Amino acid sequence: MVGFKLILIAIMIYITALFVAAEFALVKVRSSKLEQLAASGTKNADLGLHLVHHLDDYLSACQLGITLTTLIIGGIGEETVRTLLSPLVSKLPMSNSITLTISIVLSYFLVTFVEVVIGELLPKSYSIANPEKVVLGIAKPLHFFYKLTYLFIKLLNHSANLIGKAFGVHMVGEAEETLSEEELILVAADSYSKGEINQEEFKYISNIFEFDERQVKEIMTNRLEMKVLDYDLTIEEAIPKIIDVGYSRFPVIKESKDEIMGYVTLQQLVRSSYIDKNRLLAEETAKPIFVMETMVVKDVLKKMQEEHKHIAMVVDEYGGTVGIVTIEDIIEEIVGDIQDELDTEKEMIQPLGHHEYLVEGKIELDEIRHYFDLKDLEDPNGNVTLSGYFTSVYSNEVEKGFSFEIEGVVFTALLVRQTVVERVKIKDTRASA
């Protein structure tokens, strides 16, 4: 009889382990992974997806199964183990009441130890490490158990909801278990720290969420740095200017940058030059897109896609031109700087020695802030480049040789063209102090 009970206890611990493994695997497994397995024809993948899509019901089935098997183990386990221990404990030089107490305590300890280690901890660890494998393995038996106890599980879930509402507890179902943007970034950061995704992948994920909220004025080429062509130039006159600058698209203006007639492309002008190189740019311009500087980047991208344009003119609330933005600018917000075959690689920060650095004016303030650890370097008008910072904060004072100091770091304008600071020398006096 004792042997039969031991076999029954072992079976119950094994079944407990299956329910525990199923419970953790269902919570851990990714439905996207199961969808891939189902698409490839993997056995039980479709049923596994069904379990995940009805998570509340099948978790309740797991909990019911664990409870039932644990009750059976508790009901026969202590008595069976105590029977096995009694010959040994009875030999102790103590009274019967004390030996009985010792045998009961030891019996509960041994049963609990085996049940927790083998029935819970081991299957939990295994299922967390192999969720897809476990879900595929337990899908059929768990589904069968759920069908067998369907009415009782529904009663349990309904009762839990009623009791929860009575105490003001909101019962969350699987459909409500979603992650916020902040939580998704934390998950991505955790995956990166564990080596599950690389630095580039983490950067793309982070950039996507920032991209969703960024305004076009943060990524545009500002008005002062815009390269434009006059509308009364001929194609023959314009092509060398375009080639000299190296851009493929140019805004065409009438008298000022506030009077943009359209834009031209180098490819289009080269074609037209074979027909009539003396044609005026005014006859070649394409209709531009105009967007507000406060428009979010994702909406600008959508507008470009709808109108099949690669460039947009950015205006302020009064209709004045504040800059331009290209599709390349937008893509770079996600994937980082794109160097084409005409670009030359140049370090934005070039050490000169003696704690001095040569810096390009178009470098972003964030990069300078982090490189030199400058907490107070912030543009009050929202400009994101060092050149924009010079113009924004110091306005008409900027000329070659102009300098200012922040937190012991001295910035000196070396190259200024039409009030645009193109090159800066930085000296870190903190390092030499």
Name the 3-class secondary structure at 287.
coil
What pLDDT was estimated at residue 133? 92
Q: In the chain, what are the domain boundaries?
A: 2-176, 181-211, 216-335, 349-432
Question: What is the rounded (10 degree) CA torsion for 97, 102, 103, 104?
Answer: 90
* Strand-strand pairing, 249-253 and 229-230: parallel
CATH of segment(s) 349-432: 3.30.465.10
What pLDDT was estimated at residue 337? 64
Topology adopted by domain 216-335? CBS-domain (3.10.580)
Q: Please state, in angstroms and as integers, the Cα–Cα distance from residue 392 to each residue in 257, 296, 381, following that order.
A: 19, 22, 7
Sheet-wide strand order for 221-222: 221-222, 321-326, 311-315, 289-292
What pLDDT was estimated at residue 151? 92
Looking up tokens 């940058």, which residue turns up? 257
Per-residue pLDDT of the chain (433 residues; tens, 9 = 90+): 778 888 888 899 999 999 999 999 998 888 888 888 888 888 999 999 999 988 888 999 999 999 999 999 888 877 777 777 676 766 666 666 777 777 777 878 888 888 899 999 999 999 999 999 999 999 999 999 999 999 999 998 888 888 888 887 766 555 445 667 777 788 887 777 667 777 677 777 877 877 777 889 888 888 888 889 999 999 999 999 888 877 888 899 988 899 999 999 998 899 999 989 898 988 889 998 999 999 999 899 999 999 999 999 999 988 899 999 998 888 887 776 665 544 554 577 888 888 899 998 888 888 898 889 888 888 887 777 888 888 888 876 788 889 999 999 999 999 887 667 888 999 998 876 5
Looking up tokens 């992650």, which residue turns up? 179
What pLDDT was estimated at residue 176? 47
- Closest of 244, 311, 235 to residue 268, by C-alpha: 235
Q: Where does residue 56 rank: exposed (0-12), middle (13-18), buried (19+ CB within 10 A)?
A: middle
Question: Cα-flanking dihedrals φ and ψ of residue 311, to 5°?
Answer: -145, 145
- Residue 196 is given by DSSP the state S
